[in-house]
């Protein structure tokens, strides 16, 4: 089983549209994993049934029992996150600021502080409208620990791929270079970086590739909307060549992406033959490279 991860550095370059297109092409050969847990959108194109759902617990929150509190103020003084406030009479925890480190609970002389496990989101295993399996999740609004939820999604997707004897896990990652991205890259076999020819696109591509380099993963690149700025497209091609990143394809600026999203379809299903052919050819290249 091989794991393919799609990332971009910059948001909105077309990761999810392309991941869904590859999910469509791979059909029964892949388990699909939506690792962009704090803005998961893959389900909007694959209509999963949310067949199995469970709560995801991660992290803690301090709770102060003001009946036992003796107002010694120690917790407020020790908290590095400005999470404990007092009005002089009672002490309260600011849930937004609390990191769940538990330092306050450990040092409270009268044990007035307890740490409560937090539900950080939901996790699902679904059957999609194209009969494949989608592992996905929803991070609770404003929750921490997105990296851990990504790790959970990946672990379950891998497990299912082994059990069901699938050839691939196709994982849609999140933008950026921080913990959820690092978590989605760990253990992957092949990464597709989706970029666009803009000053931001090439800047973010270079940063995310610097991250990918720290892992031992084969890297490839799709340039979306390549015709928006031919000069920068040429610069991207030069850059990826210089760092031996495989070029998969150039996709033109096209209304097919927005149209497909609006219809709840992948770009392989709404009749834009040129786009379909480009992505099919890219999928062939990916399979050849990965099975080599």
* 3 versus 196: smaller Cβ distance to other proteins: 196
Q: How far apart are CA 102 and CA 113, in angstroms?
A: 9
Q: How far apart are CA 145 and CA 94, in angstroms?
A: 18
Asked if 163 interacts with other proteins (CB under 8 A), we say no
Residues 6+ apart with CB under 8 A from 59: 100, 117, 118, 120, 143, 144, 145
Quick one: angle between helices 273-290 and 15-26, nearest 10? 70
Binding mask 117-136 for other proteins (x = CB under 8 A): --------------------
Asked if 102 interacts with other proteins (CB under 8 A), we say yes
Asked if 55 interacts with other proteins (CB under 8 A), we say no
**Total of chain residues touching other proteins, rule CB under 8 A:** 64
Ranges assigned E (strand) in 65-112: 84-86, 91-93
Asked if 178 interacts with other proteins (CB under 8 A), we say yes
Binding mask 141-160 for other proteins (x = CB under 8 A): xxxx-xx-------------
Asked if 180 interacts with other proteins (CB under 8 A), we say yes
Asked if 173 interacts with other proteins (CB under 8 A), we say no
* 206 versus 247: smaller Cβ distance to other proteins: 206
CB of 157 closer than 8 Å to CB of 2:
no
Q: Phi and psi for 18 in degrees, rounded to 5?
A: -75, -35
Asked if 262 interacts with other proteins (CB under 8 A), we say yes
Q: How far apart are CA 236 and CA 34, in angstroms?
A: 27
Shortest distance in whole angstroms from residue 203 CB to other proteins: 6
Asked if 237 interacts with other proteins (CB under 8 A), we say no
Asked if 273 interacts with other proteins (CB under 8 A), we say no
Asked if 74 interacts with other proteins (CB under 8 A), we say no
Span near other proteins by CB under 8 A; candidates 122-130, 151-159, 175-183, 241-249: 175-183
Tell me the H-state helices in the chain.
15-26, 43-46, 74-78, 103-107, 146-163, 179-185, 199-213, 230-242, 256-263, 273-290
Signed CA dihedral, 162, 31, 183, 186: sign only: positive
Residues paired with residue 249 on neighbouring β-strands, in sequence order: 222
Q: By the criterion CB under 8 A, which residues form the site for other proteins?
A: 8-13, 16, 38-39, 41, 44, 60, 78, 80-81, 96-97, 99-103, 106-107, 115, 139, 141-144, 146-147, 174-182, 196-201, 203-204, 207-208, 210-211, 214, 225, 228-229, 232, 253, 255, 258, 261-262, 264
């Amino acid at each position: 089983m091989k794991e393919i991860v799609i990332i971009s550095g910059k948001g909105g370059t077309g990761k999810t549209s392309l991941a869904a297109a590859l999910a469509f092409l791979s059909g029964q050969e892949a388990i699909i994993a939506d690792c962009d847990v704090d803005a998961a959108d893959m389900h909007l194109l694959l209509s999963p049934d949310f067949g199995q759902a469970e709560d995801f617990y991660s992290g803690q929150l301090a709770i102060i029992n003001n009946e036992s509190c003796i107002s010694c103020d120690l917790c407020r003084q020790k908290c590095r996150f400005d999470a404990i406030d007092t009005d002089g009479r009672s002490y309260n925890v600011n849930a937004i600021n609390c990191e769940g480190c538990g330092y306050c609970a450990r040092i409270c002389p009268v044990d007035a502080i307890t740490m409560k496990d937090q539900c950080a989101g939901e996790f699902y295993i679904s059957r999609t409208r194209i009969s494949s399996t989608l592992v996905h999740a929803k991070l609770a609004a404003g929750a921490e620990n997105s990296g851990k939820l990504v790790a959970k999604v990946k672990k379950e997707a891998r497990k299912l791929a082994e059990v069901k004897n699938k050839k691939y896990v196709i994982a849609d990652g999140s933008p950026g270079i921080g913990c959820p991205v690092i978590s989605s890259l760990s253990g992957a076999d092949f990464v597709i970086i989706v970029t666009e020819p803009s000053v931001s696109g090439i800047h973010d591509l270079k940063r995310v590739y610097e991250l990918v380099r720290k892992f031992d993963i084969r890297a490839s690149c799709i340039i979306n909307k390549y015709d928006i700025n031919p000069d920068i497209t040429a610069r991207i091609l030069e850059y990826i060549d210089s760092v031996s990143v495989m070029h998969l394809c150039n996709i033109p600026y096209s209304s097919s992406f927005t149209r497909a999203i609006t219809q709840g379809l992948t770009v392989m299903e709404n009749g834009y033959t040129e786009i379909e052919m480009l992505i099919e050819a890219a999928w062939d290249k990916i399979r050849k490279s990965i099975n080599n």
